[in-house]
Structures are given as C-alpha cells and as structure tokens.
Structure 1
Amino acid sequence: MPPVRRRRPRPPDMTVPAGARPVFTDGACAGNPGPGGWAWALSKAEYAAGHEAASTNQRMEIRAVLEAVRANDGPLLVVSDSTYVVNCFRDRWYAGWLERGWLTSAKRPVANRDLWEPLVTLVTERGDIAFQWVKGHSGHEMNDFVDALAVAACANQ
C-alpha cells in the first residue's frame, strides 16, 4: 500500500480590513513566455488594463495586483485566481524572502523581484490590504470580467 500523503493544514483566510473594497485582478499571456496582459477592476465601470510585450503569466498576475494597489487608496480586498500571489501574502512567503535577501527557501533568486519588491513594500506599509483566492474560469462574474480584460490587453498589442 502506498504511503499516505499528508497535506499541511491550510492557513486561515486573511482578516479583511473594515471597509475594504474588493478589487479583482488577473493576468494573461499568449504563450508563456509571450505577450502579456493584466487587469484589475472594482466594478465593470471602474477598471484598468495594460500589457507587456514579453512576459509570463505569473508576471502578469503580480503586475495586476501591483497596479491595483497603486491605483486604489483605502482598505482593499484583493481577489485573485493566482494561488502564487494570494499565498505569498496569506502565508507570508515574502517575510522569508526579505530575511534571505530576496532568495527563495531553495536559495534561488525570487523570480519577478522587480514587481514583488514594490508590491510587498506597498502592502506591508499600508497594512490595510487582504488577499482572497477565487477559482479561475468558474463562472465568477468579476473574475471572468478581469480575465477578459487581461486577455484583450494581451491580444491588442
């Protein structure tokens, strides 16, 4: 009989700051790497999107959050379908990166440090931002909306 794999217990969801507005974020890439697009939205009327000529999907996911946090003051609940982004803050991966001088636990440089560093600084200095994961491509209206915006930004370069 094969050994039983035990998962570490999932940390609890982050405490949402009082008065936090949900901001939905997503990134897309045509090829990986390839042309990339990012988007964030507070609503279907209040949003932004952009692109990078040569990028990766993870890079665009991070960029979407960075642009959302830069553009929106006050308490935020960042809703993302990127476990990489959400887990970085929920599980405080960034704290280890900072302690190790922007190295991973495997002693490799943190990928996309040029985006992570300003994002981590903004989130930790503000202290009024929480993160929540949503399953992508699952019929969630606002996640589907930012996905469409990111894909369009990617394609319209």
Structure 2
Amino acid sequence: MPPAKSPYRRRPAAKSKSLPDVPPERALGETLIWTDGACQGNPGPGGWAALVTTSDDEAPIELSGGAPHTTNNIMEMTAALEGLRSLPDGSTVCVVTDSRYLLDGMTSWMAGWKKRGWKTAGGDPVKNRAIWEALDAEVGRHASVRWHWVRGHVGNALNERADELAVAAAAANA
C-alpha cells in the first residue's frame, strides 16, 4: 500500500545558486557600497544603512535612516538606493548585500518584470514596484553597477557595521 499523500503542497526545491560567500574584490576605481536593512516586526519600525567605500585605505562614509512602518525588504532596497544616490553620475559601483531578495530582484527578476509590464511570472503585480523602479533608474545613472551577495552575520566587519547602523535606525523609529 502506497503512503498517504500529504495534505500540504510542497514547493519543488529551487536550484541552488552557488554564490560566493566572500567579500568582493574591488575593481580599479570602483566604489563598494555595503548595505543592510532591519525591521522590528515585519511590518514595523525599520532602518537601513549603506557604507560607501571608495578605497581600501579610507574609512567608509556611513549613511543610515529609517521609517516608522515598513518591511525588511523595503529597508534592504532603500539601503542600496540611498547608497547609489550618494554617488556622482557615471560611477563604477559594486553593491554588497546580504539580501537574496535584493540581489535576485536586480540581477534575475527585473528584466522579466519590465518585459511583462511589472507583473510577476504568475501575472501578479510586482510588490514594491516604486522602489524597484527607483533602483533601476539609479543603476541607469551610473557607468556600471554590479551586485555581490555575502552571507550576513558571519563576522564580516563592514556587513556587521551596516547591520548595527540599520538596527539602530530601526530602534530610533520605534
């Protein structure tokens, strides 16, 4: 007798994307923006932070802010957006994030969303469309923007500092 079918639908396992879990190597003349977002609740008070580094020898410029009622994903996206906005036109940039949502949105999903009139593959409206469009516009303002994922909360000093600032900004908005 075959086992009984589970009443729960199981999503097929996603293909594993092998992402490098190391800080990016800075290209000549490239600015690195280390980003993070935080949220108490979800939704709830949130904070974002971006650390802008133009060389390995200089201390990063620390940017942060928050909102009283937001989501973690919006704060992750806002960190990247504000970091990009802080740079002059034509910059060469690498945005470093621990958010797969932000990384996948910018590198995998956006082209399809735009092609389908800002609809998901399932036909639903894209969540957070306004901020995705703002990110797309900021990317277009620069000479080159690449996206790099790092695992969060594993001791990388700049990722940890961005997290501290984002958490503090969320607390300030509580």
- The alpha-carbon distance between structure 1 residues 121 and 45, as it changes in their structure 2 partners (threshold 3 A), is closer
- Is 1:85 the counterpart of 2:102 in the alignment? yes
2:115 to 83, 86, 99: 99
CA distance in 1, matches of 2:99, 2:42: 15
- The alpha-carbon distance between structure 1 residues 97 and 153, as it changes in their structure 2 partners (threshold 3 A), is same
CA distance in 2, matches of 1:138, 1:149: 16
Q: Which runs of 5+ in 2 are unaligned?
A: 1-12, 54-58
**Over residues 90-120 of structure 1, what are the superposed CA-to-partner deviations in whole Å (9 max), with x where a residue is unaligned?**
32x1110101111111111111111110101
- Is 1:117 the counterpart of 2:125 in the alignment? no
> RMSD of the alignment, in Å?
2.5
Which residues of 2 match residues 1-157 of structure 1 at below 5 A?
Answer: 7=15, 10=18, 18-43=28-53, 44-73=59-88, 74-91=91-108, 93-157=109-173
Decide which moves more: 136-145 or 68-77: 68-77
For residue 151 of structure 1, what is the amino acid of its counterpart?
V
CA distance in 2, matches of 1:24, 1:80: 6
Q: Given the two structures, how large is their TM-score scaled by the length of structure 1? A: 0.86
CA distance in 2, matches of 1:34, 1:138: 25
User: Helix, strand or coil for the counterpart of 1:102?
Assistant: coil
Of the two, which has the highest radius of gyration? 2
Instruction: Report how far residue 68 of structure 1 moved.
Output: 0.5
Instruction: Report how far residue 21 of structure 1 moved.
Output: 1.4
* Count of residue pairs brought into register by the alignment: 152
Instruction: Report how far residue 122 of structure 1 moved.
Output: 1.8
CA distance in 2, matches of 1:25, 1:130: 13
**Over residues 56-98 of structure 1, what are the superposed CA-to-partner deviations in whole Å (9 max), with x where a residue is unaligned?**
001100011011111123111100000111122332x111010
Residue identity (%): 39
**Over residues 117-149 of structure 1, what are the superposed CA-to-partner deviations in whole Å (9 max), with x where a residue is unaligned?**
010122134241111001011101000000000
User: Helix, strand or coil for the counterpart of 1:42?
Assistant: strand
Q: Which runs of 5+ in 1 are unaligned?
A: none
